[in-house]
Amino acid sequence: EVVDCKGLHVLPGLVDAHVHLREPGDASVETIGTGTRAAVLGGLTAVFDMPNTSPAITDSAQLAWKRGRVEETAWCDMGLYVGATRRNIPELAALEVEENVCAIKVFAGSSTGDLMIEDDAGLEAVMRSGRRRIAYHSEDEYRLRERKPNYQTGMPHRMHAEWRDVECAFLGTRRLMALARKTGRPAHILHVSTAEELEYLADFRDICTVEVLMNHLTQTDEAYDRLGGYAVMNPPIRDKRHLEAAWAAVRDGRVDVVGSDHAPHSRAAKERPWPDCAAGLTGVQTIVPVMLDHVSNGRLSLMRLADLMCAGPARVYGVVNKGRLSVGYDADFTLVDMAKSRVIEESWIASPCGWTPFDGHRCQGWPVGTIVRGHVVMREDEVLGTPVGRPVAFR
Ligand code: DOR
Ligand code: ZN
Ligand code: ZN
């Protein structure tokens, strides 16, 4: 097949290493089929899917079932996380190797679903059990209700809230690093979102890798006034000081991966009055255009973006291809047109939940083709062929 790439940049296939596709769970919000279709429309060749589904993915039977769903319905390749629970700690080492997971996921702080290991003894047991990659969700529980900004009443306690929240996130991360030092096990810290954590983690680069989210590089707290519940995520969107710290960390090479934390919820769940609004924003379809716009604005180079969304995930999670450590799979490409300027519209969103916090956001630079292992699955907004997605292999 001949693909005319005149005037385009051909990037290695871009990966979103942090998505929640909700299967099994609520198909009216998202499934593996719909979420990966959104992903290829947005220029991604692979996504790594979190285990906090309903029920959660915590054993080999569930992983086998999910791999089957990937083979039947996914439009792009998928890495699967396995969730750590108190009950499966003894099996984690075997699970991560035999079941070809991208990582063990530990919810060391509050989240959607009921996977949670918060105490030091539990966390240390998980850390010692994993052979390779463990990814930590590092927010602290009491943060959620205490500090979620009251976007409906004009946030009278936002300053107080911000202070509590930063303290809590920092505490969670400090605790994880103390355990990583003690056990000698490396940790991948997901969605690091505060200036304080980023500064702190600079001293632990020998033992930690860092993910920052596209939303934390793009939105500031004015989003609460504009979007209400559609700005609520966990960890929360913060003020400009943290956004600038995140960009400084990206520039200095203190960030390994940029992901979206695509976390669809129904409109009803997003519009529930504070503090019961569901936390999480869609992003699998918008992460590439939004990041390309940052390239156009001089925030980072295309090379750096390819590093953060392809080589970085491959390095951190240990992607292998034909038995070798690899930055991707054969003929995985994302075609981008940096001359194309386009406004993100809600009507473009393919996830059944049907909303994006970026409605009306103009992006200079746009994904115009997605090629998964040689199959052209998206060209100029059209999804082509059949779902060719496969599970990604890991070291
Ligand atoms: O905002 C979030 N949404 N944070 C999480 O930790 C979980 C996620 C979800 O699954 O909804
Ligand atoms: Zn999270
Ligand atoms: Zn997440």
H/E segment holding residue 251: helix 240-251
235 CA from centroid of ligand 2 (Å):
7
Task: State the Cα–Cα distance between residues 246 and 266, nearest whole angstrom.
Answer: 29
User: Is the CB–ligand 1 distance for residue 111 below 6 Å?
Assistant: yes
Task: State the Cα–Cα distance between residues 136 and 138, nearest whole angstrom.
Answer: 6
Q: Establish whether 120 is a catalytic residue.
A: no
Q: Among residues 140, 261, 293, 337, which one is catalytic?
A: 261
Take atom 4 of ligand 1 and give the residue whose Cα is closest: 234
Distances (CA, A) of 202 to 47, 106, 252, 254, 283: 27, 22, 10, 7, 27
Ligand nearest to the CA of 19: 3
So what's the pLDDT on residue 53?
Answer: 95
Ligand 1 atom nearest residue 20's Cα: 10
263 CA from centroid of ligand 3 (Å):
7
Question: Per-residue pLDDT for the chain (395 aa), expressed as one digit of tens each?
Answer: 789 999 999 999 999 999 999 999 999 999 999 999 999 999 999 999 999 999 999 999 999 999 999 999 999 999 999 999 988 999 998 888 788 899 999 887 655 455 778 788 988 999 998 767 789 886 543 344 344 444 433 333 333 344 445 655 667 788 889 999 999 998 999 999 989 899 999 999 999 999 999 999 999 989 988 999 999 998 889 889 999 999 999 999 999 999 999 999 999 999 998 778 899 999 999 999 999 999 999 999 999 999 999 999 999 999 998 888 887 778 999 999 999 999 999 999 999 999 999 999 999 999 999 999 999 999 999 999 999 999 999 98
Side chain identity, residue 159: M
User: Is the CB–ligand 1 distance for residue 20 below 6 Å?
Assistant: yes
Beta bridge partners of 188: 135, 209
Query: What is the SS3 assignment for 199?
Result: helix
Ligand 1 atom nearest residue 233's Cα: 1
Ligand nearest to the CA of 49: 3
Residue 122's φ and ψ, nearest 5 degrees, are: -65, -45
338 CA from centroid of ligand 2 (Å):
31
Task: Look up the pTM and report it.
Answer: 0.94
Take atom 6 of ligand 1 and give the residue whose Cα is closest: 111
Side chain identity, residue 291: M
